[in-house]
């Protein structure tokens, strides 16, 4: 069943059927109340007639209904008759009334009996005269007004059902058409996405309902897919460029070596240069694998102390820092608990320290600050090098981006830092130092979901 048909069924047809059922129940209750009112009035009238049938001057039976037609309600009996103990009709009103010609005593009892026959509501009750004789009092009420009221109800109910059904159908047809059109446009956009078309956004919707939220979510997902595709293409292009340079160097060195006979020392020098390029290729490949793996093969997380992890990274880099005449210092809180993948987080800290060492001038210091940050944790690495221009502070976290092309390295270190931060619910960014001095400060934040209690 199509969406439009379901909307019509649920939004129009089923409510119309429910309304029809409710009106049918109301009709039955209305008819029952009308009949109950007639029965109560006839019982009351029968009681009055029973005590006054024989109060005439000569004791002859007579009907008070016949004498006075005043002050009678619409529910009172419109016809009456009296039968003696032989079943013979003695009195009738009106003269052309529909009272039966003969009613035996067995057809009545001391309790009023009510029934409906031929559009007439009948009451029969047995009464006694002062001399002990038994009689049957018959009262009849024409149900024509009763049936007319029920018919009027039916007519009104039918009009209401038709009008409500038409209103619901019109509203649901318009709603179904609009909703179907909106969803069809989203479905068309999703088919384009499946075919690889990430250039176009889903059509504007303007609705503030769930479909509008769905459209906004799809638009956001499309933007993210497009950005991911562009980033992947840039990464592939940059990786090809970065890999081509050492390969070309290796090929050139090998070609030059093979052109003529070389001494063993020359061959050794050529092989050492080639090995350096192989090491460079291996480092680049390792960083590419680390960056590309993302969270697909995510390391198991465990509670750890971020301060202890930073201490280990500083100890590992201290010899390199000493060779360059740079001091490494740890600042901040004594204990910062978090839940993280130890190897991935250690790799990110190592990359931050290595980046600072690459730019720190001889005789300067690098401070590593570790502290709690609300419900999360923060690690900052401050150097006193040339700093990062404002326009480059986000670009330095892009793969293969280098501020100084003359320096060695794969250009993937800070990209890995940002990837690790994202996987841990945080972020990585660069900013100017708070003391307005030279250098840069790179910040690694871990989100609240990465912190222990």
pLDDT tens-digit readout, 234-270: 767 766 766 776 777 778 878 877 887 878 887 788 7
Q: What is the pLDDT of residues 289-326, one digit of tens each?
A: 666 665 445 668 899 999 999 999 999 999 889 999 99
Side-by-side strand order, sheet with 120-128: 89-93, 79-83, 134-142, 120-128, 113-117
Task: Quote the pLDDT of residue 453.
Answer: 34
Which tokens sit at 378?
Answer: 């923060």
Task: Quote the pLDDT of residue 409.
Answer: 56
pTM above 0.75, yes or no: no
Mean pLDDT of 358-368: 92
Q: What is the pLDDT of residues 2-15, one digit of tens each?
A: 777 887 788 788 88
Could you tell me if 424 and 416 are in contact, meaning their C-beta atoms sit under 8 angstroms apart?
no
Mean pLDDT of 73-97: 82
Pairwise CA distance, residues 295 & 3, whole Å: 38
Pairwise CA distance, residues 424 & 265, whole Å: 51
Task: Quote the pLDDT of residue 448.
Answer: 56
């Amino acid at each position: 069943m199509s969406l439009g048909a379901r909307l019509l069924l649920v939004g129009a047809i089923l409510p119309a059927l429910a309304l029809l059922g409710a009106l049918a129940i109301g009709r039955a209750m209305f008819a029952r109340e009308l009949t109950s009112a007639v029965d109560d009035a006839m019982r009351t009238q029968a009681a009055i007639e029973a005590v006054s049938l024989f109060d005439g001057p000569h004791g002859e039976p007579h009907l008070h209904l016949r004498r006075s037609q005043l002050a009678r309600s619409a529910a009172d009996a419109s016809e009456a008759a009296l039968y003696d103990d032989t079943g013979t009709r003695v009195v009738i009103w009106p003269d052309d009334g529909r009272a039966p010609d003969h009613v035996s005593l067995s057809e009545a009892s001391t309790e009023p009996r009510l029934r409906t026959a031929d559009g007439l509501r009948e009451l029969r009750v047995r009464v006694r005269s002062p001399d002990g004789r038994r009689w049957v009092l018959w009262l009849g009420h024409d149900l024509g007004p009763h049936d007319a009221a029920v018919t009027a109800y039916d007519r009104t109910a039918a009009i209401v059902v038709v009008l409500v059904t038409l209103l619901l159908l019109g509203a649901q047809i318009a709603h179904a058409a609009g909703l179907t059109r909106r969803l069809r446009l989203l479905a068309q956009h999703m088919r384009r996405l499946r075919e690889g078309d990430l250039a176009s956004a889903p059509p504007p919707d303007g609705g503030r309902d769930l479909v509008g939220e769905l459209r906004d979510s799809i638009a956001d997902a499309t933007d993210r897919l497009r950005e991911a595709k562009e980033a992947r293409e840039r990464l592939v292009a940059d990786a090809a460029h970065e890999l081509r340079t050492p390969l070309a160097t290796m090929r050139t060195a090998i070609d030059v070596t093979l052109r003529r006979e070389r001494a063993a020392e020359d061959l050794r020098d050529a092989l050492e240069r080639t090995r350096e390029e192989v090491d460079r290729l291996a480092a680049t490949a390792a960083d590419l694998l680390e960056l590309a793996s993302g969270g697909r093969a995510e390391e198991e997380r465990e509670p750890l102390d971020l301060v202890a992890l930073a201490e280990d990274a500083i100890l590992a880099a201290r010899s390199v820092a000493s060779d360059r005449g740079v001091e490494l210092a740890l600042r901040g809180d004594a204990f910062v608990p978090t839940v993280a993948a130890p190897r991935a987080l250690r790799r990110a800290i190592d990359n931050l320290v290595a980046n600072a060492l690459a730019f720190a001038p001889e005789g300067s210091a690098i401070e590593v600050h570790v502290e709690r940050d609300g419900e999360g944790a923060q690690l900052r690495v401050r150097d006193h090098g040339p700093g990062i221009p404002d326009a480059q502070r986000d670009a330095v976290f892009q793969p293969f981006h280098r501020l100084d092309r003359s320096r060695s390295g794969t250009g993937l270190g800070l990209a890995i830092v940002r990837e690790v931060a994202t996987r841990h619910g945080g972020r990585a960014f660069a900013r100017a130092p708070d003391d307005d001095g030279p250098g840069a400060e790179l910040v690694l934040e871990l989100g609240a979901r990465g912190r222990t209690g």
